[in-house]
A and B are shown apart, each in its own frame.
Chain A
Amino acid sequence: MKRFAELLDRLLLTPSRNAKLKLMIDHFRETPDPDRGLALAAITGNLSFASVKPALLRALIAERMDEVLFAYSYDYVGDLAETISLVWPEGGEANDDDISLSYAVDRLHAASRSDAPAVLAGLLDRLEPASRFAIIKLVTGGLRVGVSARLAKQALADFGGVDVHDIEEVWHGLEPPYEELFAWLDGNAAKPEPGRLALFRPVMLSNPVQDGDLARLDPQDYTAEWKWDGIRVQAVCEGDLRKLYSRTGDDISGAFPDLVEAMDFHGALDGELLVGRPPERTGSFSDLQQRLNRKTVAAKTIRDFPAFMRCYDILSDGSEDMRTFPLSERRTRLEAFVARLDPHRFDLSPLVPFDDLQHLDRLRTEPPHPVIEGIMLKRLDSPYVPGRPKGPWFKWKRDPHTIDAVLMYAQRGHGKRSSFYSDYTFGVWREDELVPVGKAYFGFTDEELRQIDKFVRDNTIDRFGPVRSVRAEPNHGLVLEVAFEGLNRSTRHKSGVAMRFPRISRLRWDKPPAEADRLDTLAAMLD
Chain B
Amino acid sequence: MQPRDILHPRPEGLYCPPGDFFIDPVRPVDRALITHGHSDHARAGHGHVLATRQTLDIMALRYGEHFAGATQEAGYGKEITVNGVRVSFHPAGHVLGSAQIAVEHGGTRIVASGDYKRAADPTCADFELVPCDVFITEATFGLPVFRHPDAADEIARLLKSADQFPERAHLVGAYALGKAQRVIRLIRDAGYSEPLYIHGALAKLCEYYQAQGIDLGRLEPATVDTGTKGDFAGAIVVGTPSAFADRWARRFPDPVTAFASGWMRIRQRVKQRGVELPLIVSDHSDWDELIETIAATGASEVWVTHGREEALVRWCEMQGIKARPLHLVGYEDEAE
Bound Cα distance A466, B165 (Å): 26
Interface size on B, residues (CB 8 A): 42
The residue on A at minimum CB distance from B271 is: A13
Partner of A412, one of B143, B144, B147, B274: B274
Q: Which residues of B contact A66 (CB under 8 A)?
A: 314-315, 318
A72 CB within 8 Å of chain B: yes
Residues of chain B contacted by A6 (CB below 8 angstroms): 157
Pick the contact of B144: A79, A86, A418, A465 (CB < 8 A): A86
* Assembled-state Cα–Cα distance A202/B128 (Å): 66
Query: Chain B residues with Cβ under 8 A from A76's Cβ?
Result: 143, 145, 266, 308
Contacts of B272 in A (CB 8 A): 465-466
A419 pairs with B245, CB closer than 8 A? yes
- Beyond A22-B164, A419-B249, is A72–B270 a contact (Cβ under 8 Å)? no
Judging by beta carbons under 8 Å apart, are A73 and B145 in contact? yes
Q: Is the CB of A87 within 8 A of B266?
A: no
Q: How far is the CB of A388 from chain B (nearest CB, A)?
A: 26
- Closest CB pairs A-B (n = 7): A86-B145, A419-B249, A87-B144, A72-B311, A73-B145, A465-B272, A13-B276
Closest to A73 in B: B145
- Would you list which residues of chain B between 304 and 330 have a CB under 8 Å from chain A? 308, 310-311, 314-315, 318
Complex Cα–Cα for A65 and B143 (A): 13
Q: Mark B230-245, 1 if CB is under 8 A from A, else 0.
A: 0000000000000011
Note all chain B residues with C-beta closer than 8 A to A129: 147, 149, 265
Q: Is the CB of A77 within 8 A of B144?
A: no
A464 nearest CB neighbor, chain B only: B272
Q: Which residues of A contact B66 (CB under 8 A)?
A: none
- Given A6-B157, A82-B267, answer yes or no on A414-B274 (Cβ-Cβ < 8 Å): yes
Asked whether any CB of chain B lies closer than 8 Å to the CB of A142, the reply is no
Q: How far is the CA of A9 from the CA of B267 in the complex (A)?
A: 9
B266 lies within 8 A of A77 (CB): yes
Write the chain A residue with the least CB distance to B268: A78
Contact B165 A22 (CB under 8 A): yes
Interfacial chain B residues near A16, Cβ < 8 Å = 254
- Minimum CB distance partner of A70 in chain B: B144
Q: Determine the distance from Cα of A169 to Cα of B270 in the docked complex, in whole angstroms.
A: 38
Q: Mark B148-170, 1 if CB is under 8 A from A, else 0.
A: 01000000010001001100100
Chain B residue numbers with a CB within 8 Å of A73 are 143-145, 311
- Within 8 Å CB of A19, what residues of B? 165, 168
Chain B residues near A83: list those with CB within 8 A: 145
- Asked if B255 contacts A416 (CB within 8 A), the reply is yes
CB-defined contacts of B168 to chain A, threshold 8 Å: 19
* B254 close to A414 (CB less than 8 A): no
Q: Which of A6, A66, A415, A419 counts the most chain B CB atoms within 10 A?
A: A419
Say whether A77 contacts B145, CB under 8 Å. Answer: yes
Contacts A13-B277, A418-B255; A86 near B245 (Cβ below 8 A): no
**Interface residues as binary, A418-437 with B (CB distance below 8 Å gives 1, 0 otherwise):** 11100000000000000000
Q: Which of A490-513 contact B (CB under 8 A)?
A: none
Q: Once the chains are docked, how many angstroms separate the CA of A15 from the CA of B257?
A: 11
Contact A466 B270 (CB under 8 A): no
Q: Is the CB of A87 within 8 A of B145?
A: yes
Smallest beta-carbon distance A398→chain B, Å? 36
Judge whether A90 and B147 touch: CB under 8 Å. Answer: yes
State in angstroms the CA–CA spacing of A340 and B117 once bound together: 77
Q: Tell which of B144, B164, B256, B277 has the most Cβ of chain A within 10 Å.
A: B144
The answer, among B147, B268, B314, for a CB contact under 8 Å with A72, is B314
B residues in contact (CB < 8 Å) with A: 143-147, 149, 157, 161, 164-165, 168, 244-250, 254-257, 265-268, 270-278, 288, 308, 310-311, 314-315, 318
Roughly how many angstroms separate A78 CA and B245 CA in the complex, as a whole number?
A: 26
Taking the complex as formed, is A26 at the interface, i.e. its CB lies under 8 A from any CB of chain B?
Answer: yes
CB B22 to nearest CB in A, in angstroms, measures 31
Asked whether A10 is an interface residue with its Cβ less than 8 Å from the other chain, the reply is yes
CA distance A412 to B165 in the complex (A): 23
Instruction: Identify 16 new A-B residue pairs, CB closer than 8 A, beyond the known A13-B271, A16-B254, A90-B147.
Output: A10-B161, A10-B277, A13-B270, A13-B275, A72-B314, A73-B143, A73-B145, A76-B143, A87-B145, A90-B288, A412-B274, A415-B256, A419-B246, A420-B250, A466-B245, A466-B273
Minimum Cβ distance to chain B for residue A179 (Å): 25
| Chain A residue, CB-CB nearest to B144 | A87
The answer to whether A65 touches B276 (Cβ under 8 A) is no
| Chain B residue contacts of A215, Cβ below 8 A | none
**A418 & B257 in contact (Cβ 8 Å cutoff):** yes
Residue in A22, A77, A418 whose CB lies within 8 Å of B274? A418
Residue A14 is within 8 A (CB to CB) of chain B in the complex:
yes
Check if A418 sits within 8 Å of B245, measured CB to CB: yes
Chain A 16-49: CB-based contact to B (< 8 A → 1; otherwise 0): 1001001100100000000000000000000000
Q: Is A190 an interface residue (CB 8 A)?
A: no
Is the pair A418, B311 in contact by a Cβ cutoff of 8 Å?
A: no
Task: Give the residues in chain A near B164, CB-CB below 8 Å.
Answer: 22-23, 26
Residues from chain A with Cβ under 8 Å of B277 in the complex: 10, 13
A415 CA / B167 CA spacing, docked (Å): 13
- C-alpha spacing A70/B271, complex, angstroms: 23
A78 contacts across to B, CB distance below 8 A: 268
Among residues of B, the one whose C-beta sits closest to the C-beta of A465 is B272
B163 to chain A, nearest CB (A): 10
Is the Cβ of A69 less than 8 Å from the Cβ of B271? no
Chain B residues, Cβ within 8 Å of A10: 161, 277
CA distance A77 to B267 in the complex (A): 8
Q: How far is the CA of A82 from the CA of B270 in the complex (A)?
A: 13
Residues on the A chain within 8 Å of B266, using CB:
76-77, 82
Listed residue (B273, B274, B288) with the most chain A CB atoms within 10 angstroms of its CB: B274
